[in-house]
Amino acid sequence: MAKPKISLKLGLMMTIVICWLVPVITIVALAGVLFGDNYRRSVQQEIDASAEYALRQVQLQLADAVSDSKTLSYDGIVRSAYRSYQQNGDSAALYRSINDYLNQKFSRAENYKAVFISFWDKGVDVDAYLLSSGTAGYEFLQTCRDAEPRILRRMADADTDICFLLLDGNLYMARNLLDSHFEPYASVVMVLEPAAVFQSLRAIPRIHDLRLTVDDLSFYLDEENTPVAGESKQGDIRYETETDGHRFSFTAELEDYDLWAENPWLSRAACAVALMVLPMLIVAIALFQYHLSRPIDTLAKANLRVQSGQRGYQIGQHAPNAEFEKLYSHFNAMSAEMKSQFERSYAEQQAAQRAQIKALQSQINPHFLNNTLEIINWEARIAENDRISAMIEALSTMLGAALDRDGRTQITLKEELGYVDAYLYIIRERLGDKFQVYQQIDQSLLEQTIPRLILQPIVENAVEHDITARRGGSLWVRAYRENALLRLEVEHDGRMTEEDRENIRRLLSDGAGSGGQVGLGNVHQRLKLIYGASGTLTMEETEAGTILARISFPMNQKTAEREGGKS
DSSP H stretches of helix in 135-262: 137-155, 194-197, 259-262
- The reported pTM is 0.43
How many CA atoms lie less than 13 Å away from 20 in the CB half-sphere? Answer: 12
Q: What is the pLDDT of residue 444?
A: 93
d(CA 534, CA 515): 27
Q: What is the pLDDT of residue 356?
A: 46
Query: Residue 320: which of 296, 284, 285, 301 has the closest Cα?
Result: 296
| Residue 228: count of CB within 10 angstroms of its CB | 10
- The DSSP letter of residue 318 is P
CB within 8 A of 565, min separation 6: which ones?
Answer: none
- The DSSP letter of residue 545 is S
Pair 36, 261: CB distance under 8 Å: no
* CATH value of 46-254 in 3.30.450.20, 3.40.50.261, 2.60.120.560, 3.40.50.300: 3.30.450.20
d(CA 427, CA 549): 19
Q: Please state the domain extents for the chain.
A: 46-254, 425-566
Q: At residue 354, what is the residue type? A: R
d(CA 174, CA 189): 4
- Classify each residue of 324-339 as buried b or exposed e, where b means 16 or more C-beta atoms within 10 Å of its C-beta: beebbeebbeebeeee
For the domain spanning 425-566, the CATH number is 3.30.565.10
Pair 193, 140: CB distance under 8 Å: no
Q: Measure the CA angle with vertex 513, ends 510 and 519; round to 5°.
A: 105
Query: Residue 244: which of 167, 150, 173, 148 has the closest Cα?
Result: 173
DSSP H stretches of helix in 383-511: 386-403, 413-431, 456-462, 468-470, 498-510
Pair 500, 469: CB distance under 8 Å: no
Cβ-defined contacts of 513-518 (< 8 Å, 24+): 516/461, 516/464, 516/465, 517/461, 517/465
Same fold, 46-254 and 425-566: no
Query: Residue 559: which of 428, 450, 420 has the closest Cα?
Result: 450
d(CA 161, CA 164): 10
Residues with pLDDT less than 70, the chain: 1-17, 19-39, 125-137, 257-267, 269-271, 273-278, 280-281, 284, 346-407, 510-518, 557-567
Q: What is the pLDDT of residue 367?
A: 47
CB within 8 A of 386, min separation 6: which ones?
Answer: 380
> Cα 429 to chain center, whole Å?
51
| Burial of 13 (C-beta count, 10 Å sphere; 0-12/13-18/19+) | exposed
Going from the C-alpha of 413 to that of each of 108, 417, 431, 441, 459, the distances in angstroms are 47, 6, 26, 10, 14
Which residues does residue 451 pair with via DSSP β-bridges, in sequence order?
410
d(CA 128, CA 126): 7
